Structure 1
Amino acid sequence: MGLKERNLADGEQIVLNLRTHPKAILLPVLYAVLLAAVLVLLWWFLRGEDYYVPVMWVAGGIALALAIWLTVLPILRWNAERYVITTRRVAHRTGILNRKGRDIPLHRVNDISLDKSLLDRIFRCGTLVISDATQQSGMVLHDVPEVARVQVQLHNLLYATDDGSDDGEWPPNEPGRRRGRR
C-alpha cells in the first residue's frame, strides 16, 4: 500500500502511484514452475514403488517450504512495495508486516537520474535515483515501470513551482522577490 488520501497534507494530490514492474517476480514464478515440475517428475518415476508415499510426503514438505521461501515471500514483497509521487513529495513504501518508508520533499530534490539495462529496456522499466539536499544517500527506486515517463513527470513537478530565481532557495510557495530593491 502506498500513501492514502488521509496521509496527504492539505492541497497535496497523488500524481503517480506505482508498483515495481512485474519483471521483479519473473524469477519467483519460474521457481514455482520448477518446483512443480520436480514434484511431477518424482511422482512419475516413483509411482508403484513401496516407498512412494513417505518419499512424496517428504518431497512435498520440502517443496512447500521452498515455495514459500522462493515464491510466496518475494511476491508478497513485490505486492507491498509502492512508489508514490505527489504534488509535494516522492514517497517509497515497502514491507509486508513491518512497513518502512521514506519521503523526499520535491523542493529538496537536487538530481534525478535513471539507469536502464538491456533487460530493463526490453521490459520498459528501469531504476530511478533521486538525490536530495540531505546527508542521506539518494532514494533508489528499482524496476520503475516506464521510468523515462516518470522522470519527465518528476521534472514537470519540479519546474511547476520554480520562481526563476538563482538564489539557491526553492521551497514551494516561496514568497515573490521584489525587483530593484536590496
Structure 2
Amino acid sequence: MAYPDDLLVDGERVVLHTHPHAKMLLGPVLYLLLVVAVGVFLAALVREQAWAPWAWLVLGVVGAGLAVRLTLVPVVRWRTTHFVVTTRRVLVREGVLARTGIDIPMSRIHSVQFRHTVLERVLGCGTLVIESASDEPLEFTDVPRVERVHALLYQEVADDV
C-alpha cells in the first residue's frame, strides 16, 4: 500500500492528502541560484592563478555543501511533510529519519478556522487552525487551498456527529 493508505483502519478512506504549499520552496531555489552564481564568479576570478584547480575543488565542495544544506534538506522536508484528512481523523506527519506525527479524531474537533494574508490569498494557501479537546489550538501553516481544506474538514466533522 502507498502512504498514507497503510495508516488507515477498516472503513476509513482518504478525503485529502497534500503537502505544504510550494511557496516553501522559493527560498531554497533562490539559495541554490545564489550559491551557483557566487561559485561561478569566484571560479572565474581565480582561473588565471597557479592554484586555481585547488580553489575550484574547494569551491565545489563548499558549493555542494551549501546546496545540500540550503536546498536539498528543505526540499526533502517539504516532500516528507504530509497533511491528510480521512473520514475519521486528521493526520500530520513530518520528517525523514526522525518522524513526528499527530492524529486528531474527527469526534474531538470543536472548531476549524482558517486565515490568510493578501499574499497567501494570491498564492492560494493559508493557515488552518483546528481547535480540539487539547488545551491549545493546533495551527498548520502553508496549507494549499486552505479554504477548500477548511470546507472539507468542516464537512467531515459535521458528518461524524
For the superposition of Structure 1 and Structure 2, which TM-score range results when normalised by the shorter chain?
Answer: over 0.9
Partner deviation per Cα, 1:122-141 (whole Å, 9 max, x = no partner): 21001111110123x33322
Structure 2: distance between partners of 1:106 and 1:20: 21
**One-letter code of the match for 1:77?**
R
1:43 maps to what in 2? 43
Unmatched runs of 5 consecutive residues or more in structure 2? none
Is the 8 Å Cα contact of residues 3 and 84 (structure 1) preserved in structure 2?
A: no
Cα RMSD of the aligned pairs, angstroms, is 1.5
Deviation at 1:113, TM superposition (A): 1.5
Summarize the alignment of residues 52-71 of structure 1 with structure 2, pairs less than 5 Å apart.
52-71=52-71
Structure 2: distance between partners of 1:45 and 1:113: 54
Q: Secondary structure at the match of 1:49?
A: coil
Is the 8 Å Cα contact of residues 129 and 138 (structure 2) preserved in structure 1?
A: yes
Q: Secondary structure at the match of 2:91?
A: strand
1:134 maps to what in 2? 134
1:113 maps to what in 2? 113
Unmatched runs of 5 consecutive residues or more in structure 1? 163-182
Hey, which of these two has a bigger chunk of helix by percent? 2
**Equivalences, count:** 160
**One-letter code of the match for 2:96?**
I
Is the 8 Å Cα contact of residues 90 and 103 (structure 2) preserved in structure 1?
A: yes
Partner deviation per Cα, 1:130-163 (whole Å, 9 max, x = no partner): 110123x33322211100010011111111233x
Deviation at 1:18, TM superposition (A): 0.7
**One-letter code of the match for 1:55?**
A
TM-score when normalising by structure 2: 0.93
Deviation at 1:3, TM superposition (A): 4.8
* Largest Rg, 1 or 2: 1
**One-letter code of the match for 1:65?**
G
Identity between Structure 1 and Structure 2 (%): 37
* In the alignment, structure 1 residue 14 sits paired with structure 2 residue 14: yes
Structure 2: distance between partners of 1:142 and 1:111: 17
